[in-house]
Structures are given as structure tokens and as C-alpha cells.
Amino acid sequence: MVVFDSRRRRSAISLLLAIVMVLSLFPVFTGTAEAAQMVPEEVAIAQSQSGTCTLASAAMMIRARMYLSGNSKWSSITEHDIRGDVWLEGAGIYYSWTYTTVGVIITGDHEDVSGLGESQLASMLKRHPEGIEIHCASVPHAVLVTDYIDGVFYCFDPAQYYSGHRIPLTASWLGEKLGSQSSILTSITSYWYISSYSIQPDTAIPT
């Protein structure tokens, strides 16, 4: 009996070690990994012309929010669709705006900052899985930050040659001009976020 129990104990320990080794092969996700899985790259669009990066980023944020809320019209949203609600001709994007269409009311708000901390932006993304639009006046350029995994921020960049894919923030046009992630974060001068929304769903998000 003693020999049998000892072997069973050794077998259990070996099995436990094997499970631990297998689990160690999988990455540990932090922040908003679920947002990266839920929002498809099809949400990303390119800006229509030079100077509309903030407008395009707002459109992507609206598209993402509608997608996450199960409204199938997200894929039809373009710069043109939101321009009248979000954009002041000759000046740029409004600090605060409300986009409305059938079954959809989305309000965006703005904050001026002197940089954002890593934990601060990560916390914001947890509350806003549709993303946070950041702008660095020194470049100048805006992107939609989508999620934060293992210390790395990812984004949809509307700039030509960068658009259409979820990429690390450092691989965006901001990264091209400013370098490291920390340099980008300290260079953020303003950001937009969705402060409230009422969206009528008509589809179920695939699981």
C-alpha cells in the first residue's frame, strides 16, 4: 500500500508539472485583450485626405462602438457619414460631438493633456473597449488606440501606408516620428473618448 501511494503521488506531481509547463507556453494577457479579439480589423479605415486623421479616428471609434453593441450598420460608417456631426469645416474635429443615425446616438468628449501615463491609458481602455482616440500635436497626427497587451499598446492608424490593420503603437506614424512607446505617450496633447451612447442592436456578435 505504501509503495502504491508513493507512485500515485509521484504520478500526480508529474501530471501537475506537465500542466504547468503547457500553460507556460501561452501568453499572459493583461489590459483589454478581449477588445482585440472582439473588434475586427475591418473596423479600421484610411483617412480620405491629409488633415482628416482626427475625423477618421473618430469614425473608427464609432464603428467599433456600434460593432460591440451589435449594430450591423457599423461597416457602412465613413468619414462622410459623421462629418456633419463631428467636424467643423475649416477648423477640424469638435471637442465634444454627438453622432446620430437611425437607432444610434453616440456622444464623444475631449480632454487636453500634457501626456498620458501607461497605466492611465490602459485603465481608460478597460472602460472604453471601442478605443481611445489620441492626438500628438507635435507630429501632428491622431490614431485610435485599441487595446493593451503585455505592456504594449495597439492601434488603428488612419494614415496612408499604415491603415487597415491593428498594429503596435510604435509601428504607427506616431512611432515613426516619435520613436518609443513612452515618447508617444508623453507627447499626447489631447484625446477623445465615447462618453455615452444609445445603440439599438440588430445582430449578435460572434463568440
* 17-30 tens-digit pLDDT: 443 343 333 333 33
What average pLDDT does the segment 58-80 reach?
Answer: 97
Query: What are φ and ψ of residue 64, in 5° steps?
Result: -65, -40
Residue 207 has pLDDT above 90, yes or no: no
| pLDDT at residue number 16 | 41
| pLDDT at residue number 6 | 43
This prediction's pTM: 0.81
| pLDDT at residue number 123 | 97
| pLDDT at residue number 204 | 63
What average pLDDT does the segment 187-205 reach?
Answer: 92
* Helices 53-68 and 79-86, axial angle in degrees (round to 10): 100
| Better pLDDT: 78 or 4 | 78
Within 10 A of 155 (CB to CB), how many other CB atoms are there? 31
DSSP conformational letter for 188: -
Please give the Cα distance from 194 to 107 (Å, whole number): 6
| pLDDT at residue number 45 | 97
Give the pairing of strands 104-112 and 97-101.
Answer: antiparallel
SS3 87: strand
Within 10 A of 25 (CB to CB), how many other CB atoms are there? 6
| pLDDT at residue number 38 | 72
* 119-152 tens-digit pLDDT: 999 999 999 999 999 999 999 999 999 999 999 9
